Amino acid sequence: MSKPSEAELKDFEAQADAWFKENTVTDPGFMLPLTFMEVSTDEQFDFLCDWQRKVYEAGYLGTSWPSEYGGHGMHPEFQRVATRAMKKYDGPIILNAIGIGWAGPLLMDIGSEEDKKKYIKGMLSAEDIWCQGFSEPEHGSDLGSAQLKAVRDGDEYVLNGSKIWTSLGDRAKYMILLARTSNDGPNKYAGLSFFLIPMKIPGIETRRIKKLTGEYGFVQTFFTDARVPAEGLVGKEGDGWMVAMKTLEYERGAKVNPAGGYYIKELDAMGVVDLARNSERGGKKLLDDPVMRDKMVEQMMEIQALNLNNQRRRMAPLNQDRPMGLAMMNKLARTEMIRDLTEFSLAFQGTRAGYYVGDENAVDDGYWHRSYLNSFSATIGGGTSEIQRNIVAEHVLGLPKGR
């Protein structure tokens, strides 16, 4: 596919701009989640499904994916333009992150022709919501030790065990699953296999888990002799670790997601500044407090740095020394920044920082508290910040792996 001309891109940009300007609803009358992991009520879920479908049908999601699978078959540059417009108008997040964000690209990479035909369109249109069954009660960071059993029986696998902290697990139609097919390999990784499985079948049950925010949003999933079709296997038996690592590259932002959209809302430091503008200490504006000003500038510099990193990432000559560095640190830096910023925002609220969502006196309806508590979803989910530091240390800086 040849690169589009400047004029074509400009036209498309104008179109996308107009569309998002007209169609974006930022305040539906209830609190919108900042990340796909925060969806908790039916209201939120339905609204976000609807939003994703609209964006897809307008051509701004899956823009560059092949049309035979449900994409719009355009050059990737168009997708970049579309996502930019979505951000510009502060569009709601795209719900089906695990589907189009990680599972989709994986299928496009190594999936079979049938799988692509079967799954991609439903992912994009939000008809099929996906979830991810990686973590287990005993094994989160140490994913390679996962124990959920998958035993082949004719044309099926029989699953037994449990997965936990499964985001959207009670609403999803499909799951990407990491399961143990053998214990005899040369190491723990060799016995793992990767599956695409249906969720609404006998033998799979979910139990909702209440989050620290007081909301629901993820589940524990129990598998009791659940029988799934053997075609669900991705790659060969024993390839599971490699396949899981590939999906994590997308999840952690080390690879750019080709389907577009975004799953975690970026915070604008100016929002925090506005908060400070309306706060008082000792009868004076908090914004005049030198210590607070200093901290606010630090936050703004941090956000600006990450935006600049994103630009620099695409400029090979400015990235020669450690070409993968910026990509591999992306998740760590971004999620920690959001945690810092939202925590900092609480300091502005004085006595009112004591309120929480639901009280009429809570500042911005408790948005900042909820955001701060929720920010841990991203510093823990998808590999904790500590694990991310290990990854950067070992894979970018070349330090030895801890044993």
Ligand X SMILES: Cc1cc2nc3c(=O)[nH]c(=O)nc-3n(C[C@H](O)[C@H](O)[C@H](O)COP(=O)(O)OP(=O)(O)OC[C@H]3O[C@@H](n4cnc5c(N)ncnc54)[C@H](O)[C@@H]3O)c2cc1C
Residues at the interface with ligand X (CB under 6 A): 37, 131-135, 140-141, 165-167, 218, 377, 380-384, 386-387, 390
- By CB under 8 A, what part of segment 250-309 binds other proteins? 268-270, 273, 287, 290, 293-294, 296-298, 300-309
- What's the half-sphere exposure (Cβ side, CA atoms, 13 Å) at 368? 25
- Residue 393, interface with other proteins (CB under 8 A)? yes
Tokens matching residue 153 = 């029986």
Q: How far is the CB of 389 from other proteins (least distance, A)?
A: 5
Q: Is 54 exposed, middle or buried (0-12, 13-18, 19+ CB in 10 A)?
A: middle
Q: How far is the CB of 2 from ligand X (least distance, A)?
A: 38
**Complete DSSP assignment for 108-156:** HHH--HHHHHHHHHHHHHTSS-EEEE--BTTBSS-GGG---EEEEETTE
List the single partner that 332 binds among other proteins, ligand X, none, CB under 5 to 8 Å by kind: other proteins
List the single partner that 297 binds among other proteins, ligand X, none, CB under 5 to 8 Å by kind: other proteins
- What's the half-sphere exposure (Cβ side, CA atoms, 13 Å) at 282? 4
Contact 23, 62 (CB under 8 A): no
- Tell me which residue has its CB nearest to ligand X: 140
Of how many residues is the chain composed? 403
Share in percent of the chain as helix, strand, coil (round to 5): 50, 15, 35
Segment interacting with other proteins (CB under 8 A) among 124-132, 173-181, 328-336, 373-381? 328-336
Nearest residue (CB) to other proteins, 152 versus 277:
277
Nearest residue (CB) to other proteins, 29 versus 402:
402
Pick from 195, 124, 136, 192: nearest CA to 166: 136
Pick from 227, 254, 262, 259: nearest CA to 94: 262
Segment interacting with other proteins (CB under 8 A) among 5-13, 155-163, 247-255, 395-403? 395-403
Nearest residue (CB) to other proteins, 37 versus 269:
269
Residues that bind other proteins (CB under 8 A): 268-270, 273, 287, 290, 293-294, 296-298, 300-309, 311-312, 315, 317-318, 321, 325-326, 329, 332-333, 386, 389-390, 392-393, 396-403
